């Protein structure tokens, strides 16, 4: 499974790692983690963690620090509570699960209960680091945010990238630096505006880029297709047309789609209502395209099967409704079956893999959605830049 990509150690250049921290025995370490995990109502009706992937992914760094005698305090955001306490975003269920995965770590309250977090307020950074001797950023999934807990502490405390952050940077950096060809990317999800930049950056590196999910409709519209009532970002049509021109035939778009009749409802965990039909690539007026069709799924699976490196980010359809899950399942299966080194990012793709029991069969599952795309696009993140400026960073600050 480890054929196809060489993790790029060069991507770690200048980053202080755990080994670059001063002696930790008896010291107090603040660890920024990204435990922004999905919650649901547990058996007793109380909120509980639905997927603990990010909690398990943070464990190696937390354990490493504990083993060296540090007293460890973790801090995370959860959801988007808009700078004020909100019981829906209480970290209590996360704290409970963390206590089972890595006993002996304290977890602060939700960082985003204070408006200073998202505003990167220096006074909030001061309060956050008070009493700590060192700082570790292991919050890869949040390191694209220039928030107080991500960019503030490295200017005040000896700091380091945790194990998870370093591994993410190595693997995604490897995709940027030179993946083994053929390199195929499958990109889905809803918002095309968020993905134009990364699609452009990927086109410099990939042999094929297959587009699915709702973002495909803006590309189809750019090709002059009717998209019915499907999600369309009209202000991005021009950008998509430019990308199609630049790509010179390397962008694959859906040739067939699964569409829902006017008035139909999308289900969540069970089929919704309304007539479903295979159409396309043009969609009749009033109908909504909600998954790639079987011909498209076959084409995308073939692209994946022929690749030595695969990047998959974002579902191909509204897979929460089983009527629109086949496209995402076909891509997930192809990624799992292929001989390529595969990198999967984005919470929805990871959830789809989990649901299909395939998560163990991909090369690397990123804990970041937006962060992995921004790192692929720009080769750097605000959280990484801050760490490179820490006083103990290699080469000095």
Catalytic entry in 191, 200, 250, 361: 191
Q: Distance (Å, rounded) from C-alpha 320 to C-alpha 272?
A: 10
Please report where in the chains the tokens 């496209």 appear, as a residue.
Answer: 327
Cβ contact 229:239 at 8 Å: no
Cβ 141 to ligand 3PG shortest distance, Å: 4
41 binds, among ligand 3PG, Mg ion, none (CB under 5 to 8 A by kind): none
Residues at the interface with ligand 3PG (CB under 6 A): 34, 36, 80, 141-142, 145, 369-370
Greatest C-alpha distance within the chain: 67
Nearest distance from residue 373's CB to ligand 3PG, in Å?
A: 10
Task: Write the binding mask 342 to 371 for Mg ion: x where contact by CB under 5 A, - elsewhere.
Answer: ----------------------------x-
- Which among ligand 3PG, Mg ion, none contacts residue 141 (Cβ within 5 to 8 A by kind)? ligand 3PG
Q: Which does 162 bind (CB under 5 to 8 A by kind): Mg ion, ligand 3PG, none?
A: none
Residue whose pair of structure tokens reads 């008896």 in the numeric block:
26
Contact 142, 32 (CB under 8 A): yes
Closest CA to 182 of 362, 343, 303: 303
Which of Mg ion, ligand 3PG, none does residue 176 bind to, with CB < 5 to 8 Å depending on kind? none
With respect to Mg ion, which residue has the nearer C-beta, 182 or 370?
A: 370
Catalytic residue among 54, 97, 112, 205: 54
347 belongs to the catalytic site: yes
Q: Distance between CA 77 and CA 89 in Å, rounded?
A: 9
Q: What angle do CA 217, 364, 176 make, to 5 degrees?
A: 70
* Least distance from ligand 3PG to the Cβ atom of residue 58, Å: 12
The DSSP annotation for 187-241 comes to E-SS-STTTHHHHHHHHTT-SEEEE-STTHHHHHHHTT--BTTS---GGGHHHHH
Name the active-site residue from 14, 83, 267, 370.
Answer: 370
Name every residue whose Cβ is closer than 8 Å to that of residue 63 and which is 6 or more positions away in sequence: 102
Indicate if 191 belongs to the active site. yes
Whether the Cβ atoms of residue 82 and residue 38 lie closer than 8 Å to each other: no
Q: Which is nearer to ligand 3PG, 18 or 142 (CB)?
A: 142
We find the least distance from the C-beta atom of residue 369 to ligand 3PG, in angstroms, to be 5
Least Cβ distance, residue 89 to ligand 3PG (angstroms): 11
188, 293, 317, 347: the catalytic one is: 347
94, two tokens: 């996360």
What is d(CA 389, CA 397) in angstroms, rounded to the nearest whole number? 5
Q: Which residue minimizes CB distance to ligand 3PG?
A: 36
Question: Is 78 or 260 the residue whose CB approaches ligand 3PG more closely?
Answer: 78
Examine residue 79 and tell whether it contacts Mg ion (CB under 5 A).
no
Catalytic (active-site) positions: 54, 191, 347, 370
Instruction: List interacting residues with Mg ion (CB under 5 A).
Output: 370
């Amino acid at each position: 499974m480890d054929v196809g990509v060489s993790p790029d150690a060069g991507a770690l250049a200048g980053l202080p790692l755990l080994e670059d921290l001063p002696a930790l025995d008896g010291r107090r370490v603040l660890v920024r983690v990204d435990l922004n995990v999905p919650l649901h109502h547990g058996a007793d009706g109380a909120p509980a963690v639905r997927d603990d992937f990010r909690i398990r992914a943070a464990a190696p760094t937390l354990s490493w620090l504990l083993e060296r005698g540090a007293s460890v305090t973790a801090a995370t955001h959860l959801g988007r509570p808009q700078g004020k306490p909100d019981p829906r975003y209480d970290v209590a269920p996360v704290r409970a699960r963390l206590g089972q995965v890595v006993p002996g770590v304290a977890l602060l309250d939700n960082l985003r209960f204070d408006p200073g977090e998202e505003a990167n307020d220096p006074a909030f950074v001061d309060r956050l680091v008070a009493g700590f001797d060192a700082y570790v950023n292991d919050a890869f999934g949040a390191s694209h945010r220039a928030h107080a807990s991500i960019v503030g502490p490295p200017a005040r405390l000896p700091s380091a990238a945790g194990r998870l952050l370093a591994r993410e940077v190595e693997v995604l950096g490897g995709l940027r630096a030179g993946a083994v060809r053929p390199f195929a990317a499958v990109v889905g999800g809803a918002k095309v505006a968020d993905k134009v930049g990364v699609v452009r950056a990927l086109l410099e590196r990939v042999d094929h880029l297959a587009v699915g999910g709702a973002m495909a409709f803006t590309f189809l519209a750019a090709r002059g297709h009717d998209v019915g009532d499907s999600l369309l970002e009209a202000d991005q049509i021009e950008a998509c047309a430019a990308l199609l021109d630049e790509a010179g035939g390397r962008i694959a778009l859906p040739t067939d789609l699964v569409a829902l009749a006017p008035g139909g409802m999308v289900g969540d965990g069970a089929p919704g209502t309304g007539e479903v039909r295979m159409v396309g690539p043009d969609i009749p007026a009033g109908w909504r395209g909600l998954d790639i069709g079987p011909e498209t799924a076959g084409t995308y699976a073939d692209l994946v099967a022929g690749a030595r490196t695969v990047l998959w980010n974002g579902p191909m359809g509204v897979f929460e409704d089983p009527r629109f899950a086949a496209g995402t399942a076909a891509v997930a299966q192809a990624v799992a079956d292929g001989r390529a080194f595969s990198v999967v990012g984005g919470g929805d793709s990871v959830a789809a893999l989990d649901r299909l029991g395939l998560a163990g069969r991909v090369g690397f599952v990123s804990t970041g959605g937006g962060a992995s795309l921004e790192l692929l696009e720009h080769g750097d993140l605000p959280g990484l830049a801050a760490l490179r400026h820490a006083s103990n960073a290699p080469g000095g600050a």
